[in-house]
Amino acid sequence: MSQFVTLTIKKVIQETPSAVSLVFEVPAKIRSDFHFIPGQFITLKAKVNGQEVRRAYSLSSSPNDPDIKVSVKKIADGTFSIYANENLKAGDQLEVMVPEGKFKLQPQPNKNLNYMAFAAGSGITPIMSMIKTVLTEERNSKFVLIYGNKSSTETMFFKELLQLQSIYPNRLFLEFIYSRENTDGARFGRIDKSTVNFAVKNKFKDISFNDFYLCGPEAMITTVKEVLAENNVSNEAIHFELFTATETAKATNSGETIIHVVLDDEQAQIKADKSITLLDNVLKADMDAPYSCKGGVCCSCICRVVEGEANMPVNNLLTDAEVAEGLVLACQAYAISDSVKIDFDDA
């Protein structure tokens, strides 16, 4: 079910002193499997220091590009991010899962739409894919990017964005914000309430925006969502993706349970522990359940609770309607009842 395939790294691009892009060559025979909608991600699997590591990275390339590209920013104590930045090179191979994800912008070539995005740091990666796709497929649509970083040197895709703006000066609008650098043409500080109000009420007040896309730290996303709501932007028009969450689920029960698992058209019954997540119980039973971040910020491990009860203390992804349908993030959910049936195939 995990659908990993082996792909070769075509080239490694040094985007900033602390970030690289990995460009993968996708063989023609499986190219259709890697079709994606801007905003979606792939999961990379590798052995690092003898341990299997999985990480989800948003695609920063356009669906129309011949290759696929993800961009990895090095973070302190980041096992895979350090490995990617310091060790990977052209010709290396990685296990790659087909694209997935709910954060996406479906292009509408016959419409004239206006988008505004707020991104910070590596949160630019899915937004970059959206920008390139909108500019090429929605010929009259406009895109405004509010983009925060420490400095221009640490700004991923800085030159590429400026180049795109020079090609589409009346359709792409850039607002750079630096927290540690005063630069002409850029704002100083962070993406906060004043930044959002400046963009919506002042700089771009004459543009009626159809959708807003937010990607970056949780605190930034929370602030932007709140200020947009204060400016009468509907919840349906605000789309966001977290790269990390400040809160993760903790067990609320203890004791044993029986988990009936439907996975890859097969069924299994396992004795499980209520104090660990559904996903960890399934993986402990040596079943190949789909997962990536294990932090509740991607959607790889979504499953449906068919029978019994499960509790999901933290939910950063699923809508109320999806939860009502029985969907849970297996990495954030715990069994409550003494027997629970979960279905990964019907999620």
Q: What is the pLDDT of residues 269-318, one digit of tens each?
A: 999 999 999 999 999 998 988 888 787 878 889 999 999 999 998 887 78
- What are the structure tokens assigned to 299, written together? 């959607």
Check whether 247 has a pLDDT greater than 90: no
User: Would you say residue 345 has pLDDT above 80?
Assistant: yes
Q: CB count, 10 Å around CB of 232?
A: 7
Q: What is the mean pLDDT of residues 134-149?
A: 96
pLDDT at 228: 97
Tell me the percentage of the chain whose pLDDT exceeds 70. 97
Residue 305: how many other CB atoms lie within 10 Å: 24
What would the pLDDT profile of 16-34 be if each residue is shown by its tens digit?
999 999 999 999 999 999 9
pLDDT in tens, 176-220: 999 998 888 888 999 999 999 999 999 999 999 999 999 998 899
pLDDT category at 319 given cuts 50, 70, 90 is confident
pLDDT given at position 184: 87
- How large is the average pLDDT for residues 327-340? 94
> What average pLDDT score do residues 249-260 get?
83
Q: For 168, phi and psi rounded to 5 degrees?
A: -125, 65
Cα 284 to Cα 225: distance, rounded to the nearest angstrom: 38
The identity of residue 179, as a single letter, is S
Judged by DSSP in three states, 340 sits in strand
Select from 3.10.20.30, 3.40.50.150, 3.40.250.10, 1.10.10.10 the CATH code of 256-343.
3.10.20.30
CA-to-CA separations, 62 to 4, 107, 297, 339, in angstroms, rounded: 21, 11, 22, 45
Domains of the chain by residue range? 4-97, 114-242, 256-343
Query: What average pLDDT does the structure give for the chain?
Result: 92
Q: Give the CA-trace dihedral at 30, 33, 36, 42, to 10 degrees.
A: -90
Cβ 43 vs Cβ 55: under 8 Å: yes
Residue owning tokens 């310091």: 86
When pLDDT is cut at 50, 70 and 90, the band that residue 249 belongs to is low
Q: What are the respective helix, strand and coil percentages of the chain, to the nearest 5?
A: 25, 35, 45
Q: How confident is the model at residue 1 (pLDDT cuts 50, 70, 90)?
A: very low
Average pLDDT over every residue of 34-53: 93
DSSP alpha helix (H) spans, the chain: 79-86, 124-137, 158-167, 193-197, 218-230, 278-284, 320-324
How many angstroms separate the CA atoms of 123 and 73, rounded?
A: 10
C-alpha 72/C-alpha 86 separation (Å) is 11
CATH of span 114-242: 3.40.50.80
pLDDT (0 to 100) of residue 222: 93
What gap in Å lies between CA 328 and CA 224, rounded to an integer?
A: 26
* Radius of gyration of the CA atoms of the chain, in A: 21
Residue 242 pLDDT exceeds 90:
no
Q: Is the pLDDT of residue 251 over 80?
A: no
Strands of 187-188's sheet, edge to edge?
Answer: 187-188, 172-178, 142-149, 114-120, 211-216, 238-242
Q: What is the pLDDT of residue 245?
A: 60
- For residue 2, is pLDDT > 60? no
98-129, pLDDT tens digit by residue? Answer: 999 989 999 999 999 999 999 999 999 999 99
Distance CA 100, CA 208 (A): 30
- Structure confidence at residue 297 (pLDDT): 78
Cβ burial of 28 (10 Å; 0-12, 13-18, 19+) is exposed
For 220-228, what is the mean pLDDT? 95
- Work out the burial of residue 168: count CB atoms within 10 Å of its CB; fewer than 13 is exposed, 13-18 middle, 19 or more buried: middle
Class of domain 4-97 (CATH, top level): mainly beta
CA–CA dist 219, 190 (Å, integer): 11
